[in-house]
Amino acid sequence: MAVDMRLPTVRKQISLSGSQSTDGKHLVVPGDVITSDTGFMRGHGTYMDDEKLTASVAGEVERVNKLICVRPLKTRFNGEVGDVVVGRITEVQQKRWKVETNSRLDSVLLLSSVNLPGGELRRRSAEDELAMRDYLQEGDLISAEVQSVFSDGALSLHTRSLKYGKLGQGVLVQVSPSLVKRQKTHFHNLPCGASIILGNNGYIWLYPTPGQQDEEAGGYYTSLEPVPLPDREVISRLRNCLLALAAHKVLLYDTSVLYCYESSLSHQMKDILKPEIMDEIVMETRQRLLEQEG
């Protein structure tokens, strides 16, 4: 039995030392005029007010050629075609599942966008429709890819690849979508002994690295065999590391997660989330990331 009671810690003012602060960045708050030049195109997070391009959210200005958008620090997931997401089934409807993906509307997974057992090109029969809950039921987690975006902003997902599908045993960590770095692949088998899916929507799935035999399962069979203890330890440690990094707003990608994992090894797993230890670990991770960059 362990209980750790303490007084709340006073937040440290982060020193905004001029050297490496925000000089490279253009930060705006709602109502700030970004430019009155009419040659630019209006992107997300901006609006036109009297011919002036004005910010509507607080964040960093991003300029791609003529397109100006403002990326807020924290927001719901704004999905784009090709994004990898992890989501939870909330409703089984006719020929479709409703999936919670941290977007502003529930996403949709059509029955026609999943690989059913027995081959890709099989026709969807009436029996399939009735048996939808056997494949995926309320509460189940899936990994999927954004197939298209409806006009109202809702996402349509698909799992037509062996890497997507229903998720088995593991741990879900939810962070802000803006903390997940966009990469070529969001599936990683970390060398520390576990695998990770970094969903673009901020939902991160940690699971034991699958053995070879799991490959042909087609994504709808999940093993309920107990996960060995060492794997669990790694997963739990990774989970706490992810939360620590997210609390300190460090971008999440395979290297940052791995560095954090390594610097946490000197501490007990359950202590990682204590504020002072969290500070220490994250500081060390940052340092290593900087070294690697520089």
Partner 1 sequence: MAGLELLSDQGYRLDGRRAAELRKVQARMGVFAQADGSAYIEQGNTRALAVVYGPHEVRGSRSKTLHDRAVINCQYSMATFSTAERKRRPHGDRKSSEMSLHLKQTFEAAVLTQLYPRSQIDIYVKILQSDGGNYSACVNAATLALVDAGIPMRDYVCACTAGFVEDTPLADLCHAEESGGGTTLALALLPRSENIALVQMDARLHQDHLDALMEAAMMACKGLSKVLDSVVRQHLQEVSVLTRE
Partner 2 sequence: MPVDTKRVRGPDESQSPLVFLPPTAQTCEVLRRPGDRGKGDVRPLFARCGLVSQAKGSAYIEAGNTKIMCSVYGPRETERKDDTDMKSGRLVCDVRLAPFSCQKRGAWIQGSEERDLSLALSESMQPGVCLHRYPRSQIEVNVMVLENDGGVLAHAVTCASMALADAGIEMYDVVLGCALRQDGDSCLVDPDFSEERGSWQAGYGENQGRVTVALLPNFNQVSGLHADGEMREDTLTAAVRTCMDGCHKLYPVVQQAILRAVKRKAPPPEK
Partner 3 sequence: MATVQVSEAEKVYVMHGVRDDLRVDGRGCEDYRHMEIETDVVSNTDGSAKVSLGHTDILVGIKAEIGKPRPMVPDEGYLEFFVDCSANATPEFEGRGGEELGVELSNTLYKVFNNRHSLDLRSLCICPGEHCWVLYVDVLLLQCDGNLFDAMSIAIKAALFNTRIPKVHISEDEEGVKEIELSDDPYDCMRLNVENVPCIVTLCKIAHRHVVDATLQEKACSVASLLISVTHKGMVTCVRKLGRGSLDPDSIFEMTETGKRVGKALHAPLMELLQKEESLGKKRQKVGFLA
The interface region with partner 1, picked from 133-141, 195-203, 211-219, 244-252 by CB under 8 A, is 244-252
| Largest distance between two CA atoms of the chain | 65
DSSP state of 40: S
96 binds partner 2 (CB under 8 A): no
- Choose one: 67-75, 111-119, 195-203, 257-265; the region binding partner 1 (CB under 8 A): 67-75
Q: Is 56 in the site for partner 1 (CB under 8 A)?
A: yes
Q: Give the C-alpha separation, 239 to 233, whole Å.
A: 10
Strand-pair partners of 144: 85
CB 272 within 8 Å of CB 264: yes
Residue 99 sits in the site that holds partner 1 (CB under 8 A): no
Among 35, 56, 209, 222, binds partner 3 (CB under 8 A): 222
- d(C-alpha 157, C-alpha 219), whole Å: 15
Alpha carbon separation from 281 to 136, 164, 261, 272 (Å, rounded): 39, 33, 9, 8
- DSSP H or E run through 230: helix 229-247
Question: Which CB atom, from 101 or from 240, has the smaller least distance to partner 2?
Answer: 101
Asked if residues 203 and 172 have their Cβ atoms less than 8 Å apart, the reply is: yes
Task: Give least dist CB 284 to partner 1, A.
Answer: 15
Structure tokens at 240: 């706490």
Report d(CA 69, CA 51) in Å as an integer.
16
Query: Based on CB atoms, which residue is closest to partner 3, 236 or 255?
Result: 236
Residue from 49, 129, 138, 214 binding partner 2 (CB under 8 A):
138
- Interatomic CA distance for residues 278 and 270, integer angstroms: 11
- Number of amino acids touching partner 2 (CB under 8 A): 3
C-beta closer to partner 2: residue 139 or 294: 139
CB of 112 to partner 2, least distance (A): 23
First CA to last CA distance, the chain: 44
Residue from the set 188, 237, 252, 256 that interacts with partner 3 by CB under 8 A? 237
Helix (H, G, I), strand (E, B) or coil at 24: coil
* CB proximity list for 249: less than 8 A, separation 6 or greater: 179
Query: Residues in contact with partner 3, total (CB under 8 A)?
Result: 40
Tokens of 55: 């910010």
Contact between 6 and partner 3 per CB under 8 A: yes
Closest distance of CB 25 from partner 3, Å: 26
* Closest to 275 (Cα-Cα) out of 3, 6, 1: 6
Nearer to partner 1, 78 or 143 (CB): 78
Under the criterion CB under 8 A, does residue 104 sit at the interface with partner 3? Answer: no
**Which of the choices partner 3, partner 2, partner 1, none does residue 22 contact, using the CB cut-off of 5 to 8 A by kind?**
partner 1
Binding-site member from 85, 204, 238, 250 for partner 1 (CB under 8 A): 250
- Residues near partner 1, by CB under 8 A: 14, 16, 20-22, 25, 27, 29-31, 45, 47, 49, 54, 56-60, 72-76, 104-106, 152-154, 178-179, 181, 248-251
